Structure 1
Amino acid sequence: MVFPDPLPLVPFPVSVQRLDGTLPLPATARIAGDDALTALLRDDLAARTGLVLGTAGTASAGDIEVHIDSAVSHDEGYALTVTDRIRIVGHDAAGAYFGTRTLLQLVQADGDAWSVPRLEIEDAPRFAYRGVMLDVARHFFDVDAVKRWIDRASDLKANTLHLHLTDDQGWRLHIDAWPLLTERGAATSALGDPGGFYTKDDIREIVTHAARRHMIVVPEIDLPGHTHAIGLAYPELVEPPVMNDALRADAERLGQPLPVAGEPYLGWGVGHSSVRIGDERVYEFVADVLDETAALFPGPYLHIGGDECLGTDPADFAAFIARATRIAADTGKTPVAWHEAGAVADVAPGTVGQYWGALDPSEAHAADAAHFVAREGALILSPSDAAYLDMKPSADFPLGLTWAGVVDLHRAYGWDPATVVDGIDDSAILGVEAPLWTETVRTPEDADRLAFPRAAAIAEIAWSSPDGPEREWASFRDRVARLAPAWKTAGIRFTPIEEIA
């Protein structure tokens, strides 16, 4: 078999040295090495090819071996060689795992058989944080759907799932100290669709599944706005809805209801809700919720929202963010907040900011983002007009929104995190995240259609150096197109590239 050039690899590795020929991958091949990694690779190869490979204590010619050696590369890096056998050596378990993701992309049909090109790869990520976000508040996704989202993301070497767990449309996480949140605040979703919530055992299952694929889960409890659902359970904690002209105009244009205190909110307008910032009972609520949330998620981050508080007095907003980021830090986690929280002079030191403004930021947005770095924190880049997977990929696409513009595949690929905010380079950037908000996303199939292949573009931006080999549009377009057979086998309902490029 003649393998394509460039190779069907996304993200593209730091270094690839092609050797002559290919190595057949027959049903008699075996996998040796780290037990957890070999078991997962065995399962994934079976799903990809139908081959059910055996295991071995020691690899021989024609076999696959997966090992860990800290002398190789650096954090999450790996070396992959294909000569008379396939050998993957990770700097750590994560690196070895990501090496197996590269191998899965290299396995190609060779008539009725399978083979892998002979080559040598050395690879490691550009950024430590490479994320996707799933909004399960506006539309609820069950445990199995979240696990499939994790699988899709980790195959592209993402290592973080950000779960947006609470919003005006629903509260999705059971909290023992405040049980009415899910009893009364989780029944519906946007557009009147069914709701749902996660028990603590559900979350443990999601976290365990993610950890097996070397991903952490970052929970978001959105505060002090996006809190209408709290009022369904504990009305004494929230302010009456605050209307604004944009909210009214959108409701009329979309034929959606305006928010009404005490009633589930079925629209998707923003900026109308807030907790009672001056009420001490609110901070007891925040402490209880963040404590229980932090205990469920072993990763280092706890996201507290902080966006789109359009009806909140700036002084009240500042007082809340200063206090809430410290409550989050008291759980032992690093607080994360959307970039508006950077306007607060006293945001807790070390808080990470998540930037969702435009690629060409306003002066205020840029200053807000930079303030996190000045306060000993860092930035996650999620520019809405390039990285938001819920933006329409073409003007006539049946799903998605356009408030940040139309984001086709070329635009999703054609930006660099280090050039978004002046003065903020790689040293101050924790990483990159591709959010999928779910106003129009009602099913997992909808999520696939919006996310793929654009999620692959963001994955390459997060992993690969901007001046690395094959790191250019024509190559990427060719390479991601060659992943289509594997995506079909995995059941990913992706949108054909020619429709959105």
Structure 2
Amino acid sequence: MFAVLVALALALPVVGAPAPVRAEPPDRPHATGGSAAADPRSAVIPKPRSWSGDDGELRLGGTVRLAVDRATARERSAGPAPGAGAPAGPGTLHDVARAAARDLADATGVRAPVSLGGTRGADVVVALDRGPGTGPGTESGEQPGADESYRLEIGRQVRLTAPTATGVYYGTRTLIQLLRASADGRTLPTGTLVDGPDTEIRMNTVDVSREYWEPREIADVIRQMGYLKQNFLVLHLDDAEGFRLDSPRYPGLAEPGYSYDRATIRRLDRLAQRHGVQLVPGFEFPAHVSPKSAYFHVGMADGPRDAEPGFGERDTGATPQNSCTGYSYSHLTDDFTFNVMNQRALRVSQEMLDEFLPWFSAPWVHLGGDEIPPDLADCPALQAFVEESPRYSTVGDVAIDFLNTLNEQVTQAGRRSIIYDGSESDTVQVPLDRDVVIMDWTGDGTAPHMAPYDKIVASGDPFYLVPARDTRPDEEAIARSWAAPTDPTVLGWGMHVWGDDLGWAQGQWLESLSLRPRAVVADRQWHTTPRTADEFASFGARLDAVGAAPGYVGVRLPEPTRHGRPIHQYVMDPQFPPGTYDAHTPTSRRGLRDVCGLSGMTPLFVETRTVEVPGEGWTKEVDADGYWFGAPDVPGPWSLTARVRLTGSPVVWEDLAGTTSLSLGATGLVVTTAGESATVAADVPQDAWVDVAMVSDGSTVRLFVDGEEAGSVDSTAPLPRTRLRGPVGLAQLDLYAEALGAEQVQAAREGRPEPRCAR
């Protein structure tokens, strides 16, 4: 509960940052007392490697002179030039210094004009230096993570040196955090900090396929990753619920407004480079491909006949001898998997890689590769295909052969492939190419068959955030007891944010849930020594102190309205919402659509019943799992109107932690916030359709039943927009960012207002 509250709080703009302070004359920094963090290792996230302090302090003025070493200002690295295909990084040393000056002003109010040369009289000096003592491990002559290491010396001036511009960038993040953690936003402890990472690939995955994230929400992730010194972001762009790259070459495959064109990806990629992050495209082959297989007509139920690309009916010449119908997962259609017997499926996949790989600068690409439906092994056509080929013994052989062919293409493009573990363990005759990296999402990278491969560990336990399945990263285990890999074939590890089973979750809501666990992961990735109980107990305070990254936007709540129209309106409609591909069988479809255009995945494995309602067409019975709305709570004023049919147990609107809820039952409404509950006693009809409204002015919540006010309670409860659960018939639901009057409540029963949507 505490973790959720901290995460949601941190999602707000400039949370945790000191208020900008009044500028002072550009005097020399001077010693002061009692304001700086005594030891950066107890203030900075991630925890620095080593610190040697002398109990002194340096106070910066409102304006400081930031000097860039002229000799290395135009360099990215003082060492050998990056190899072919290496990511561009944050730019030259001069680029990094200018960006740091902007961030310093944004985060602390300290102005830092940048100059070339003249380092002797400067307040802050940055330079590239690969000499002794620049990075960690210098006592033994070894420098783990040397390319990203840095040295921060604070005395009469601040001197930041590193072997690369990336190292200098990370040093500026430490400098900003130290200033934010100080009592006055200006004071630094004096001493020498030597720092560098233990882990090469410090990863995050964001699922933008099942739940579309706005570009600015992805930008928030990138900025925060750079602030926490993480360097590897996999954008999961491709899954059964949506393909998110919009190219003129494939009109209609990705839905405009719920996808990213090349210009948008270019902007995000450049932003990622500036923050030391590699933006890695995440695709899926040959399963999890429903939109692609339907668009190109190459799903398991399709035959080999060419058909014009596009969604809808198609004639592909499918027969029992060349396709497999009915062998997918029970909740998914046959389009979930490419017809791996069909050469067109491979050709389409190769063409798509040719089109989309140039959109990204990172030398990596994720090809997916997991969760091929096991029942396909029982398909007669696929069995015959395997038996007739001397190369194959199992379906796993066929799948890995498909992935190996794509890997050859990726390698020729100067990049490296990643796949999820799964299919590679089901092969007999076709081993996975040795240069492929396996992302182990089911274990810790120690499975014997993975031994020859490089690996990235990203297991569901303890690293998955899947809100709709009540799965959260185990923060204490990650910080204190998880055994960080020491096998040199483990290139890195990290956390996944998945949108499985959510209804209309906003990226900003998912990001608000991700902030704290991501920070815990980043802390341990950088310096893998387990944290003590005291360090973990104080982590929330440290995160509050350093705040979110400069430029981070966070949650944008709807502005209060006065027009008497809902900001979100939900209608009963079996049609899928825009931006979401209908990959599911009829028994697992949602049947509830947000008129305001929010997109989202269908909840799976839900038994539902439809009921005719006069004037409404149809409605849906919600089971105990209910609907996920996935949006931040709206503080008062707010209103909620709905037409419901209660069936015994209460129906509950609630936030993820259960700290705020509106529970409507036969005896009235129970409003709960911050552990305190209050009841509006009322006789609410059961097993009959009833119009209910809940209205808050910010201090009082009123309940209306069939247009008549039933009572009120004093409560500051916000409107919970996370989920609706409980057995209830639902015919309509409207959410408002204002307190409706009694006449407006009555009017809403007689004529549902047209929404004025807020996204």
Shorter-chain TM-score range: 0.7 to 0.9
Of stretches 486-495 and 310-319 in structure 1, the one that deviates more from structure 2 is 486-495
What is the aligned partner in structure 2 of residue 234 from structure 1? Answer: 296
Could you tell me which of 60, 64, 67 is aligned with 2:127?
67
Q: TM-score, structure 1 length as denominator?
A: 0.80
Could you tell me which of 192, 198, 214 is aligned with 2:276?
214
What is the aligned partner in structure 1 of residue 53 from structure 2? Answer: 18
Mapping of residues 291-330 of structure 1, within 5 Å: 291-311=354-374, 313=376, 315-330=394-409
- 1:204 and 2:204 are equivalent in the alignment: no
Give the Cα separation in 2 of the matches to 1:208 and 1:179: 25
Give the Cα separation in 2 of the matches to 1:414 and 1:313: 42
What is the aligned partner in structure 2 of residue 254 from structure 1? Answer: none
Percent identity for Structure 1 against Structure 2: 24
Give the Cα separation in 2 of the matches to 1:163 and 1:13: 28
Could you tell me which of 246, 263, 266 is aligned with 1:174?
246
Could you tell me which of 215, 221, 225 is aligned with 1:143?
215
State which structure, 1 or 2, has the greater radius of gyration over its C-alpha atoms: 2
- 1:371 and 2:449 are equivalent in the alignment: yes
Offset at residue 447 of structure 1 (A): 2.1
Give the Cα separation in 1 of the matches to 2:536 and 2:60: 26
- 1:91 and 2:163 are equivalent in the alignment: yes
What is the aligned partner in structure 2 of residue 284 from structure 1? Answer: 347
Call closer, same or farther: CA 1:478–1:41 in 2, change over 3 Å: same
What is the aligned partner in structure 2 of residue 475 from structure 1? Answer: 535
What is the aligned partner in structure 2 of residue 382 from structure 1? Answer: 458
Could you tell me which of 154, 161, 167 is aligned with 1:82?
154
Query: Can you list the C-alpha shifts for 1:314-372, whole angstroms capped at 9, x where unaligned?
Result: 6234322233233233233211000113314521121101011156xxxxx853xx434
Call closer, same or farther: CA 1:221–1:22 in 2, change over 3 Å: same
What is the aligned partner in structure 1 of residue 525 from structure 2? Answer: 462
Offset at residue 45 of structure 1 (A): 0.9
Offset at residue 259 of structure 1 (A): 4.0
What SS does structure 2 have at the residue aligned with 1:108? Answer: helix
Give the Cα separation in 1 of the matches to 2:188 and 2:361: 37
Check conservation: 1:8, 1:482, Cα contact below 8 A: yes
Could you tell me which of 87, 99, 103 is aligned with 1:40?
99
Check conservation: 1:326, 1:348, Cα contact below 8 A: no
**Partner amino acid, structure 1, of 2:459:** P
Could you tell me which of 367, 392, 401 is aligned with 2:469?
401
Give the Cα separation in 2 of the matches to 1:219 and 1:355: 17
Offset at residue 4 of structure 1 (A): 5.1
What is the aligned partner in structure 1 of residue 717 from structure 2? Answer: none
Offset at residue 173 of structure 1 (A): 1.2
Offset at residue 232 of structure 1 (A): 3.9
Could you tell me which of 182, 201, 226 is aligned with 1:129?
201
Offset at residue 110 of structure 1 (A): 5.5
Of stretches 445-454 and 474-483 in structure 1, the one that deviates more from structure 2 is 474-483
Offset at residue 177 of structure 1 (A): 4.5
What SS does structure 1 have at the residue aligned with 2:46? Answer: coil
**Partner amino acid, structure 2, of 1:54:** P
Flag the structure with more relative contact order, 1 or 2, with Cα contacts below 8 A and sequence separation at least 6.
1
**Partner amino acid, structure 1, of 2:479:** Y
Task: Give the aligned CA root-mean-square deviation in angstroms.
Answer: 2.8
What is the aligned partner in structure 1 of residue 480 from structure 2? Answer: 414
Give the Cα separation in 2 of the matches to 1:306 and 1:312: 16
- 1:56 and 2:111 are equivalent in the alignment: no
Unaligned runs of 5+ in 2: 1-33, 69-92, 136-145, 302-324, 378-393, 556-631, 633-654, 660-759
Check conservation: 1:301, 1:333, Cα contact below 8 A: yes
**Partner amino acid, structure 1, of 2:416:** T
Offset at residue 492 of structure 1 (A): 4.6
What is the aligned partner in structure 2 of residue 253 from structure 1? Answer: none
Query: Can you list the C-alpha shifts for 1:407-440, whole angstroms capped at 9, x where unaligned?
Result: 4421232344545xxxxx3311100121111234
Give the Cα separation in 1 of the matches to 2:210 and 2:372: 17
Call closer, same or farther: CA 1:429–1:91 in 2, change over 3 Å: same
Offset at residue 121 of structure 1 (A): 1.0
Greater share of helix? 1
- 1:433 and 2:494 are equivalent in the alignment: yes
**Partner amino acid, structure 2, of 1:401:** R
Check conservation: 1:175, 1:289, Cα contact below 8 A: no
Give the Cα separation in 2 of the matches to 1:384 and 1:158: 19
What is the aligned partner in structure 2 of residue 250 from structure 1? Answer: none
Q: TM-score, structure 2 length as denominator?
A: 0.54
Call closer, same or farther: CA 1:10–1:312 in 2, change over 3 Å: farther
**Partner amino acid, structure 2, of 1:484:** D
What is the aligned partner in structure 1 of residue 286 from structure 2? Answer: 224
Check conservation: 1:412, 1:454, Cα contact below 8 A: no
**Partner amino acid, structure 2, of 1:340:** G
Query: Can you list the C-alpha shifts for 1:286-326, whole angstroms capped at 9, x where unaligned?
Result: 11112222222222211110122234646234322233233
Give the Cα separation in 2 of the matches to 1:214 and 1:208: 10
Call closer, same or farther: CA 1:491–1:12 in 2, change over 3 Å: same
**Partner amino acid, structure 1, of 2:125:** E
Of stretches 452-461 and 158-167 in structure 1, the one that deviates more from structure 2 is 452-461
Unaligned runs of 5+ in 1: 188-194, 248-257, 262-271, 360-364, 391-398, 420-424
Call closer, same or farther: CA 1:415–1:323 in 2, change over 3 Å: farther
